[in-house]
Every structure is written in structure tokens, then in C-alpha cells.
Amino acid sequence: MSKLLRIPVVVFSIFLIFISQSSAAPFVPPAPKISAKAWAAIDYNTGTIIAESNANTRLGPASLTKLMTAYVVFNEIKAGNISLSDQAMVSRNAWQKGQPTGGSHMFAKQGSKISVKELLKGMIIVSGNEASVALAEFIAGDETTFASVMNNYARKLGMTNTNFTNSTGWPDPEQYTSALDIARLTQAMIHEFPEYYKWYSEKKYKYSGYQDDPRYREIKAQSNRNLLLWRNESVDGVKTGHTESDGYHLVASASQDNMRIITAVFGAKGKVARAVESQKLLKYGYRFFETRKLFNAGEKLIETKIWKGKSDTLPLGLTEDIYITLPKRQFKKLDVEHILEPTITAPVLKSNTYGTLSISVENNKLAEHPLVALQDINEGSLWKKMYDTVMLMMQ
């Protein structure tokens, strides 16, 4: 398996460790049979793989490509390079990728200027091809340059089985991704941009910028193609895709019982089938697994002796929150160990590492993370340093 994505709020990106089958271990059945070419289900907070098949196989992403297009745009907004109110031109090239080809579109007119916000919603909710190209051209000048930006972000996210050549998912033998890579991307997007992720839950969309044109006033709102938004109340996104060669794709994200699961199903046999298969994975994940937050960032976990300082004790903790995903009923077997440096002397700087927190289940190590100083501690008085020096020699 490849290395999973690490995001700031998540301390550990770990692989699920199945406990050896003993009489005391909980029974975890294999994942249900999924009728698709490839699929993966991961926990959002930990990156743990709950279930997968052919998850690193390279397949055409189709409109799932627009997840990365959106991620790039969100980052451009965050960096202050563009704003939601900026107006982007719908070029002839952009327009031709939509209505004239029969591809998905938001009914944007050629030559019109539309806000970045509306183009994003048109791309996210109804998968508008012209919206994707217009955004790519607005940011980078053309799709080729924009694709290089997409690939740069893919590398940063550890998407080792991904390459983009355009912003829409238009079929290209050099454009590919994997179920696990797309799950990683979705994990990052939800974490980094929750204020924009909410658009993926909207069920219908109609661009209202052409009220002066009677031809466009008659156009009805289009529906989001993610059927799970209607079928499962816990699902709040994410994206569909389809090509003749690779079949029907769906990335879904659901949140319940303080646990978010992301599923990526590639190459199902139809629109309904991709929703049905995704639902199977979600049910399996919530039935047999759970995620718990063990410790908070900045929380004092242990105090240890410090020598030659103004204080005699040093509080240690973590710089990030810790979540762990395990089969249900397995948390009672968790073992947490603090491994500390044998001798710590002042001065001490906050956030410097002075030990390790180790988490395991039945001698199977799940994760490790550095224990850091939670405060600065300066050197003590001359008398204190002399006294502690003698005490250390005696020890």
C-alpha cells in the first residue's frame, strides 16, 4: 500500500492493522462484494484504509478531475490571487467543451463573463465543462498550463498514480488517477476548505445571470448527479464521473457517529449502480469500524523531571490532535506508552521534542508521535544549577 495523506488536523496517517484472529478479537468480515473496477473506503480523520480493491490501479478519472480543478481554485482564493467575485470569460474553447459536444454544462454563453463563485458552483453541482475550462483559463491562461498546476498539487498530496492533462476529465490516455488518490484529494479538500465543500451537498443548480434572455429564462435547474444526496441523509458530497471506456464513478463522503468516511468507486456499470456500491461501502465502514479522538493538541499528557531549571517539572504533550480508527470493540485493548528522554536539563524551548508517544494494540504498533514541551523553561539560579549538578552526579 502507498503512504496515506497527512493533513494538519490529523496526527496519524496509518494503515489499518487487522488484529490476529484469537477468541478475544472482534470479528471483522471481509468487505462486501463491490461491482466495480476499483474502489476504496478511508476514514477522513486518520486516512485509515477501511476497505479497498485495485485502489492503486490507474483509470481515467472522467469528471472526478474537477475535484482537483476545484482544489486548485480554492488554493488560489486562499492565496489571495483571485476572489469569488472576480469575473472570468467563457471563451469559445470553454463553451465548446459543454453544450456543442453534449458534455455536462451549466448553460453558460460563449463570450459571457461569470463570477468565479458561479463558475465553481456550476462545476461542482452540475459538473459544467465550460465552467471548468473557464476557471482554468482565468487562472493559468490555458488548460495545459493549468494541468501542470494540478499535477504539482497532486505530487504534494502524494497522489502517485495520478496525472492530469486537462481540467474537465475529457478522455485522454495520458490522464489517469486511482481510487485511493482521489480519496486522498477529497480528504484534503474537505479538511482545508470546509466553507466551499458545502456546495457539494447542493442538489440543484441554475445559473441566473441571463434573465434578460428569454431562451435562458426557460432553462430549468439541473440536478446534482450524486444520487446518494437523496438516498442517504449522512452523505454530504462529493462528485460523479463517467466515460464510455472506464464506466461510472462516484466519490461520496458521509458523516455519522462522529466519524466521516470517504468512498471512491470507479467503473461501476451505471448511474444507479455506482450509488448502490458506494452505499455498501459506507454501511460496512460504519457497521464494523469506529474512529475516536484520543488526545487534543496542547493537552498535558505527562509531566517529567527537569534539571537546572526555574521549574522542577516539564509538561509534555502533542502539537496535533490524535485520532485512531479500529474495528469496533478494539479500543479497550489500546496501550499508550510514554517513552521519555532519561535526562532533560534547562533551558527548554516550547515545541522541542523530549520523548515519544507510542500507541499499540496487543503488541501491534499503530502509531508514534513526538512528545513536545508545552512551555519554555529557563535556567534556574546558580545555586539551583550547582545543586542539580551534584544530584545528577550522585544518580
In three-state secondary structure terms, 391 is: helix
Give the bridge partners for 379, in sequence order: 309
Measured from the Cβ of residue 108, the count of other Cβ atoms closer than 10 Å reads 27
User: Residue 146 — left, alpha, or beta (φ > 0 → left; ψ -120 to 50 → alpha)?
Assistant: alpha
> Residue 347: is the preceding peptide bond cis (ω within 30°)?
yes
109 is catalytic: no
Answer yes or no: 381 catalytic: no
What are residue 359's DSSP bridge partners? 336, 367
Contact criterion met (CB below 8 Å) for 42 and 7: no
Amino acid at 362: E
Residue 257 burial (10 A CB sphere; 0-12, 13-18, 19+): exposed
Q: Are 377 and 346 in contact (CB under 8 A)?
A: yes
66 is catalytic: yes
Catalytic residue selected from 37, 104, 121, 127: 127
Angstrom distance (rounded) from CA 268 to CA 158: 25
Cα 24 to Cα 43: distance, rounded to the nearest angstrom: 25
The active-site residue, picked from 63, 167, 253, 278, is 63
d(CA 251, CA 271): 12
The cell numbers describing 37, all together, are 473496477
Nearest residue to 106 (alpha-carbon basis) of 82, 135, 146? 135
Looking at 66, 121, 280, 308, which residue is catalytic? 66
Return the C-alpha cell found at 34.
463491490
In angstroms, the CA 57 to CA 38 distance is 7
How far is 387 from 381, CA to CA, in rounded Å?
A: 10
Which residues are part of the catalytic machinery? 63, 66, 127
